Structure 1
Amino acid sequence: MLGPAFSSLPAGVPLVGSAILGAIVGSFLGAALERLPSGRSVVTGRSACDGCGKALTVVELVPVLSWMMQRGKCRSCGARIGGWQLACELGGAAIGVASLLLAREGLALAAMLLGWQLLLLALLDLRHLWLPRLLVGWLAASGLLVSIARARVIDDAGVIGIAVAGGVVGYALLWLIARFYLKARGREGMGSGDPPLLGAIGLWLGPLGVVETMLGASIIGIAAAIVMLVSKRKIDADTALPLGTCLAATAWLLFLLQGPG
């Protein structure tokens, strides 16, 4: 739903603007996806080809279009530019547009902020089975700030209490499951970043949203396992499934369709 701030603009302009903004943010997220696992800074240093080290020009940094024009290859050395970068840019653009169209009144920007953070976390977990505590911390902090802002707008401090309760329930729920699994099976069955992630999500969605996120993530996980079986990929007790990716995807859809807790 388009808010009053966009009502005076010509039809389509806000959507195009949100797509462009989302693609730009997605380009930054793509750089983070490549650099963070190797300990490189995301905010310093010029963007360069990972193959030959050549600094990229402005034209080569245009989201989506540059990847398509270069056919996913470096113009200098021909090294392949991974599809992860394009996925981040397209995903960022899709989040921007969907937030503007589907988020509840006044929550489009919040939906974008949540979606872009969860996109990076989801892809990091999908690709590296890694949920950086710093990024999860930013997700939690932004969720708390959004709840404080909502409390001021609607003059209801109870909104903050619901958010905090969601954070506690989210963290405690997965922490208890992980401890029970460890005690019952004698080995870790869950990544250490999953409980903090669900806790951060709880600050955005509240206690009920935490339960809904767990149910939705479980459905996605079962569907992924079925796909793996159909494609004849081996699944056993040691097969790692990115729970964080499933949680992130479910949480953003819930916020988009239902709003905060």
Structure 2
Amino acid sequence: MDHWGWPILLGVLGAVFGSFIATIAIRWPEGRSVARGRSMCDSCGASLKAVELVPVASFLLQRGCCRHCGGRIAPSHWITEVLGLAIGVVAGIAAPGGEGAAGAVFGWLLLTLAALDLSAFWLPNMLNGVLVATGLAVGALGLGVPLGARLIGGAAGFLALWLVARGYKALRGRQGLGGGDPKLFGAIGCWLGWEPLAEVLLVASLLGLALVVLKLAAGRQVRATDRLPFGVLLAAGAWAVWLGGLMTTGH
């Protein structure tokens, strides 16, 4: 496969996966079936044809509306499709071959978890488990970080945020982190190993601070009780650190 063939293939797969991820983020928190993917309109339930399911292009051609009922298609669909595409292309360029494919899977799983956390403050145990299993499987295949470092990273990541959550609750008398955040951080450790975890946490914290600053700059109030989807920040920080690690090692 030529230099651009791999990134293009992963990009196309990413756009398709992004379409499904957007559907999951809308339907799963509501208890609706996601088994049929984007085969129906979320507004009227009409069955959609193949031409209406082309990632990004269908949204643009239909001007963001359903062709059957005229209902508005959630912008999260095309945004998630673009993000899925970008993850695939960047992973394919950064690391052609098996490691790039693994990095794309890592990114798509993180995108799924981030989309659910953003839409419903929910990081499902099942998806965190899939992230753990795939990370350890990639390590067992000898790709990237050694399996031993991944196992240590999984335990260290979970324990670190679990202790933070317990300590915060003991001091303040209320939850400071969701129950899924330590599990997600542990799952990230199963991909990156234990050494980059502090860097992931730093990047996530800086992103959170940037969001607070932007909110204040927009004239909106910030309260101590405001909820922040920390899983989104952890996911973004984890994939950024994975990508940065490849650049550092000269892939």
TM-score (norm 2): 0.93
1:207 aligned counterpart, secondary structure: coil
Q: 1:160 to 1:135 in 2, by over 3 A?
A: same
Structure 1 residues 164-203: aligned runs within 5 Å:
164-203=151-190
Matched, 1:81 2:73: yes
Q: 1:44 to 1:104 in 2, by over 3 A?
A: closer
- Cα deviation for residue 200 of structure 1 reads 0.2
- Cα deviation for residue 126 of structure 1 reads 1.6
- Is 1:104–1:258's contact at 8 Å kept on the other side of the alignment? no
Give a deviation string over 1:125-172, Cα, whole Å, max 9, x none. Answer: 12211111111110111111111111xx79xxx922111100011000
Residue aligning to 1:16: 8
- Cα deviation for residue 104 of structure 1 reads 7.0
Letter in 1 for 2:161: L
Q: 1:42 to 1:230 in 2, by over 3 A?
A: same
Residue aligning to 1:100: 92
- Cα deviation for residue 14 of structure 1 reads 3.2
Residue aligning to 1:255: 242
- Cα deviation for residue 41 of structure 1 reads 2.5
Residue aligning to 1:64: 56
Residue aligning to 1:204: 191
Q: Which moved more, 1:27-36 or 1:103-112?
A: 103-112
Q: Percent identity?
A: 44
Matched, 1:109 2:101: yes
Residue aligning to 2:117: 125
- Cα deviation for residue 39 of structure 1 reads 1.6
- Is 2:7–2:91's contact at 8 Å kept on the other side of the alignment? no
Q: 1:101 to 1:51 in 2, by over 3 A?
A: same
Matched, 1:215 2:207: no
- Is 1:104–1:257's contact at 8 Å kept on the other side of the alignment? no
- Is 1:33–1:123's contact at 8 Å kept on the other side of the alignment? yes
CA distance in 2, matches of 1:206, 1:215: 16
Aligned length: 246
Residue aligning to 1:228: 215
CA distance in 1, matches of 2:37, 2:133: 27
- Is 1:104–1:256's contact at 8 Å kept on the other side of the alignment? no
CA distance in 2, matches of 1:79, 1:214: 40
CA distance in 2, matches of 1:217, 1:248: 8
- Is 1:147–1:160's contact at 8 Å kept on the other side of the alignment? yes
TM-score (norm 1): 0.89
RMSD: 1.7
CA distance in 2, matches of 1:45, 1:97: 23
Residue aligning to 1:32: 24
- Cα deviation for residue 56 of structure 1 reads 0.4
CA distance in 2, matches of 1:136, 1:119: 12
CA distance in 1, matches of 2:166, 2:10: 42
Matched, 1:145 2:137: yes
Q: 1:217 to 1:46 in 2, by over 3 A?
A: closer
Q: 1:147 to 1:15 in 2, by over 3 A?
A: closer
